[in-house]
C-alpha cells in the first residue's frame, strides 16, 4: 500500500505508539461477547451517598470553574486523610495538594514539570503504559530497569548502577500494576539512600491503588518518609478508590517548589477539575470508613477468585495489592501471551491482558493479568470457563 501522505505534512510526536492494549482487548471482548477481565475498572456501582452529594452540589449551583489547585474544602479533606493514612500533615495544604483530571493528568504534569530535553528517567519494567510516552513527549529518555523476576520488587543495585548525571527522575508504582507487588519498608530505605547519593534525583510515586493492599500489609507511601517526600510527587486517584474510574478525578501531593511548576502546567492542561464532584468528595471523605474498608472488600474478591480458580490449570502469582491477579498458563499452552489472550477471548469468551506488553523488551513469561474488581457472579462465570481449559 502506498504510504499515506498528509497535507500539510504531519510529523508524529509519538510515532511508535499503537492503540493501547486495553482498548484492543476491550474491543475484542465486546466483539466476542466475552467477560471482560482485561481493563481495570469495577463492574459494581458507585456509592449512592456519594452520587447524592455530588448531585446536591450541582443543584446548589456549584457548577462553575473551581480554583486551579482544587476546591478548598476538598484540599482540606485530603490533607486530613494524608495525616490519618500516612502521618503526614502538610504544612500548607493550599501549596502542596492539587486536584487533577485523574491520576493520568497528575502523571503528565509531574513528568512535564521535571523532565527537560535529554534528561533521563528510570522506569521499572513491567510498567503502566502512561509513563514512557509522556517522558518521550518532553524530549526525555526512559531507562527501563526490570523488577526482580522472583518477586517483582525493585532491584536497587541495578537501579543504582543506572543513575547518571542526566538521570532526573525515578518513577515508582505501589501497589503495582500489573504485578500486584508492593514496596516494603526496606525498599523505601533503599530509595532514601539513592536520593542521598544523587542530589539531582526526584521521585514520582504512582499510588493509585493505595487502598488495595492485602493480608494486613501496609501501603508504603513515599509521603510517610520525610527525607523522601521533600523530593517526591505522589499521585492518587479517586476513580480507583471510589469505583468511579469514569469521573477522572485524582490529585498530586508535592513540596511547594515542585508544586509551583506542576501547577504552571496543570493550568494549561485542564485549568481545574469538575467542581461538584470535588464538593461531594470533600463531604464523603469525612467518613474514613469509606476508604478504610477497601482492603477487606478487595481481599475478599481476590480470595473468591482464587478459590474459584483452584480447579483450573492456571497458576496464580502471589499478589499483595491492586485489583489485578497474574496467572501463569505455562501448564496449558506454550503460545506467546498476546496470542493466548486473543485465543482465550475468541474461543472461550474471557478477556485478559498479556503481561509482555508492559515490558520494553516484550518479555514473555506466559503470564496473563486478570482484573477481579467484578461482581461475584462475573468472577464465577469467568472462573467456570477458565477451569474447563
Ligand atoms: C498504575 C496506574 N496509574 C494511573 C492510572 C490512571 O488513573 P486515573 O484513571 O485516575 O487517571 C491507572 C489506571 O489504570 C493505573 O493503573
pTM for this prediction: 0.96
- 307-332 pLDDT per residue, tens: 999 999 999 999 999 999 999 999 99
Closest CA to 37 of 388, 317, 380: 380
Is the alpha carbon torsion for 51, 286, 265, 272 positive or negative?
positive
Q: Is the CB of 270 under 6 A from ligand 1?
A: no
Give me the pLDDT at residue 40, please.
Answer: 87
Q: Do the beta carbons of residue 212 and residue 42 sit within 8 Å?
A: no
- Residue 282 Cβ < 6 Å to ligand 1: no
Determine the Cα–Cα distance for residues 21 and 3; give it in Å rounded to an integer: 25
Distance 99 CA to ligand 1 centre (A): 15
Residue 3's pLDDT band, with cuts at 50, 70 and 90, is: low
Q: Does the pLDDT of residue 137 top 80, yes or no?
A: yes
Tell me how far CA of residue 47 lies from CA of 73, 155, 230, 236, 281, in angstroms.
20, 40, 35, 19, 11
C-alpha–C-alpha distance, residues 61 and 78, integer Å: 23
Look at ligand 1, atom 14, and give the residue with the nearest C-alpha: 40
The reported pLDDT for the residue numbered 191 is 98
Ligand 1 in contact with 173 (CB < 6 A)? yes
Q: Per residue in 90-131, pLDDT tens?
A: 999 999 999 999 999 999 999 999 999 999 999 999 999 999
Amino acid at each position: 500500500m502506498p504510504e499515506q501522505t498528509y497535507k500539510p505534512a504531519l510529523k508524529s510526536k509519538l510515532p511508535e505508539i499503537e492503540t493501547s492494549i486495553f482498548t484492543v482487548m476491550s474491543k475484542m471482548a465486546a466483539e466476542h461477547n466475552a467477560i471482560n477481565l482485561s481493563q481495570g475498572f469495577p463492574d459494581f456501582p458507585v456509592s449512592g451517598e456519594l452520587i447524592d452529594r455530588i448531585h446536591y452540589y450541582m443543584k446548589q449551583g456549584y457548577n462553575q470553574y473551581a480554583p486551579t489547585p482544587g476546591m478548598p474544602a476538598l484540599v482540606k479533606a485530603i490533607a486530613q486523610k494524608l495525616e490519618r493514612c500516612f502521618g503526614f500533615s502538610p504544612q500548607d495544604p493550599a501549596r502542596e495538594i492539587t486536584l487533577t483530571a485523574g491520576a493520568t493528568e497528575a502523571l503528565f504534569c509531574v513528568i512535564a514539570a521535571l523532565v527537560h530535553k535529554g534528561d533521563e528517567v528510570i522506569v521499572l519494567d513491567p510498567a503502566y503504559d502512561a509513563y514512557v510516552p509522556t517522558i518521550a513527549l518532553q524530549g526525555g529518555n526512559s531507562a527501563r530497569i526490570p523488577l526482580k523476576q522472583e518477586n517483582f520488587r525493585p532491584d536497587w543495585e541495578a537501579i543504582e548502577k543506572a543513575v547518571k548525571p542526566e538521570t532526573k527522575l525515578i518513577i515508582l508504582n505501589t501497589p503495582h500494576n500489573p504485578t500486584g507487588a508492593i514496596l516494603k519498608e526496606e525498599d523505601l530505605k533503599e530509595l532514601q539512600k539513592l536520593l542521598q547519593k544523587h542530589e539531582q534525583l526526584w521521585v514520582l510515586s504512582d499510588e493509585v491503588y493505595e487502598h488495595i493492599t492485602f493480608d494486613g500489609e501496609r501501603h508504603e507511601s513515599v509521603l510517610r518518609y520525610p527525607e523522601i517526600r521533600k523530593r517526591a510527587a505522589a499521585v492518587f486517584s479517586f476513580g480507583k478508590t471510589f469505583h468511579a474510574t469514569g469521573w477522572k478525578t485524582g490529585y498530586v501531593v508535592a513540596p511547594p517548589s515542585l508544586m509551583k511548576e506542576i501547577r504552571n502546567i496543570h493550568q494549561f492542561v485542564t485549568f481545574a477539575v469538575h467542581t461538584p464532584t470535588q464538593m461531594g468528595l470533600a463531604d464523603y471523605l469525612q467518613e474514613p470508613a469509606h476508604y478504610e474498608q477497601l482492603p477487606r472488600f478487595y481481599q475478599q474478591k481476590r480470595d473468591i477468585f482464587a478459590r474459584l480458580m483452584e480447579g483450573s490449570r492456571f497458576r496464580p502469582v502471589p499478589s499483595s495489592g491492586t485489583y489485578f491477579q497474574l496467572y501463569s498458563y505455562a501448564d496449558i499452552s506454550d503460545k506467546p501471551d498476546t496470542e493466548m489472550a486473543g485465543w482465550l477471548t475468541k474461543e472461550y469468551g474471557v478477556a485478559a491482558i498479556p503481561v509482555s506488553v508492559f515490558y520494553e523488551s516484550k518479555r514473555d513469561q506466559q503470564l496473563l493479568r486478570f482484573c477481579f474488581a467484578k461482581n461475584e457472579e462475573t468472577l464465577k462465570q469467568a472462573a467456570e470457563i477458565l477451569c474447563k481449559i
